[in-house]
Chain A
Amino acid sequence: MAASPVVRASNLGYRLKNGREVLIRVDFHLPAASFLAIVGENGAGKTSFLDLLLGFRRRTNGELWVMDRDPGMDPWATRARIAYLSEKIDLPGDWDAGDFLEFHRPFYAGYDRDEERTLMGRFRVPYDARIGTMSAGEIRRVQIVGALATWPQLIVADEITATLDILGRRTFLSLLQERQRTNGATVLLATNLPEGLDVYADHVLLISRGRQLAFELLPSFLDGRASLADAVAARLEDHDRPLH
């Protein structure tokens, strides 16, 4: 019997109080142990979709299931298996990296201190580094360590790679792929920078102006193009081209 999809969206919609449609008819089922790249232009609705996934916003239409739970019903036990990484997360500046991890650990029963130490070494973050003196990319690294040391089954990353340097980005993406392949973790990565994701992603969700333009396996999405970035650009340009 096939495992149920980790994420199921059916006619999913989200509209603001002023009537603006942010997401319209998003529809897909994501199998377990997938690596989904969520791409689209600025303001397409990628972050809004992830906010719905985690229950930060309430959908106004359709259905959304994450690990067989409705995120709008506060499935807090499920969140123990989800790692959330975002550029929006910031931490008190007078803490150091060790303080954050000390605060973070008790919330997760499966937290692995050995894995934390391994990741700190891999991302080269000292425990006594003060958050107030860190760059945005360094803060992301601390966040990544805290999130992945819990061995999550679902990793939701919202535009987190933009602030990482080239080595940090490669380390992070390789780590996600390792977790996917060896632990069966499912990865959802929303990004404005699809360059280089071809090596990691196996599914692509393209959103433009709130609408789902495509949800496909990577080879099908590429459709003969040289790279994911080229394929995304071509699809977006086609979508923008007026009908004659």
Chain B
Amino acid sequence: MTGHFIRRDLRDFLFWWVAMAAATVLVVACAIWFADPPVIVFLWPAYLMFALTAAPHLLGSWWRTQHQWSRHYLLALPLSHRRLFAIQHVRILIFWLPLTLLCAVAPAVPAPWWNRFGTMHWLLYYFGLSASINLMIEMQIWTTLDMERIVTYLPRNQRAWAWIRSMGVMLAVISGLWAAWTDVVFSALGVQQRGLFIAGPLFSWPGASIVIFPAAFLAAALWARHNARSWCVTL
């Protein structure tokens, strides 16, 4: 059944997959033509946007939204809701594949900073990549369901605070991942930092990645449980 859903998704989003492929070919060609491999980093925001936009369509809509998947249809299917929610995760993960692959193969792109990566950095890099994507997927699902809750159930005078809380959660997740990744990069580059330091727009500290990445895995697992119950009451 997972394949049945994924084949349908590939047909529905075929235009966007072709657009991503065309953008990839163009950027890689530029990188080769201009002998500047780091140009490939321009694909990162495109792949991230692609990954973030699919979730509302895949999760289905609770209320009757014109010409969008209905969650009632999905939940009425003769599929275990647990299995169905797992399939939803796989469907969303497919859209994260371009970004995941880009980050996974990025070390193969010649760039001076990779030479400074030691064993620990490589471990943190790939562990952190996995943890970050897991956490981002759960945040994506939660954000979709939370917006649905705010718009559908909350009285108007409570919505502003609910929106602020939602934004706050997203900012906290992004900040935490930023701090962890900054720690990996700065320590690899041998940049000496003591205590809390400003890395770009946000803070980090030495050893942040060792704390944050495992916490991100745990948070993703707990968040998935919470999201399951928000998505479907039988879970």
Please give the residue numbers on chain A whose beta carbons come within 8 Å of chain B beta carbons, in ascending order: 54-58, 71-74, 76-80, 82, 84, 86-94, 103, 106-108, 131-132
Contact = CB atoms under 8 A, between A and B. Distances in A.
A43 B40 CA distance: 56
Contacts of A72: 233-234
Contacts of B63: 88
B67 A93 contact: yes
B79 to A, nearest CB: 6
Contacts of A56: 72, 75, 233
A236 B91 CA distance: 48
Q: Top 7 nearest A-B pairs by Cβ distance?
A: A93-B67, A80-B78, A84-B76, A74-B234, A79-B78, A89-B70, A58-B233
Given A73-B234, A74-B80, A76-B81, A88 B72 contact: yes
Q: How large is the interface on B (under 10, 10 to 19, 20 to 34, 35 or more residues)?
A: 20 to 34
B233 A55 contact: yes
Nearest to A80: B78
Contact of A88 (B64, B80, B81): B64
A107 B64 contact: no
A106 B66 contact: no
B205 to A, nearest CB: 40
Contact of B80 (A76, A87, A92, A131): A76
Given A55-B234, A94-B12, A106-B1, A131 B67 contact: yes
11 contacts: A55-B75, A74-B82, A74-B235, A86-B72, A87-B64, A88-B63, A89-B64, A91-B67, A91-B69, A108-B78, A131-B67
Q: Is the interface of A mostly helix, strand, loop or mixed?
A: loop
Contacts of B1: 106-107
A107 B1 CA distance: 8
B-side binding surface: helix, strand, loop or mixed?
A: loop
B12 A90 contact: no
B70 A88 contact: yes
B234 A84 contact: no
Contacts of B233: 55-58, 72
A71 B1 CA distance: 22
Contacts, number: 80
Contact of B77 (A71, A78, A94, A107): A107
Contacts of A74: 80-82, 234-235
B194 interface: no
**Most chain B CB within a 10 A radius of its CB, from A55, A89, A94, A132:** A89
B80 A90 contact: no
Contact of A76 (B57, B66, B79): B79
Contacts of B80: 74, 76
B54 to A, nearest CB: 13
Contacts of B78: 76-80, 107-108
B68 interface: yes
Nearest to A107: B77
Interface in B99-136: none
Contacts of A87: 64
A91 B66 CA distance: 8
Contacts of B34: none
Contacts of B64: 87-90
Interface in B46-62: 57, 61
A78 B65 CA distance: 28
B10 to A, nearest CB: 13
A106 B234 CA distance: 23
A79 B77 contact: yes
A180 to B, nearest CB: 20
A233 B73 CA distance: 32
Nearest to A95: B12
A132 B234 contact: no
Given A57-B233, A107-B78, 7 more contacts: A55-B234, A79-B78, A87-B64, A89-B73, A90-B64, A94-B12, A107-B1
Nearest to B62: A88
A106 to B, nearest CB: 6
A124 to B, nearest CB: 21
Interface string B25-45: 000000000000000000000
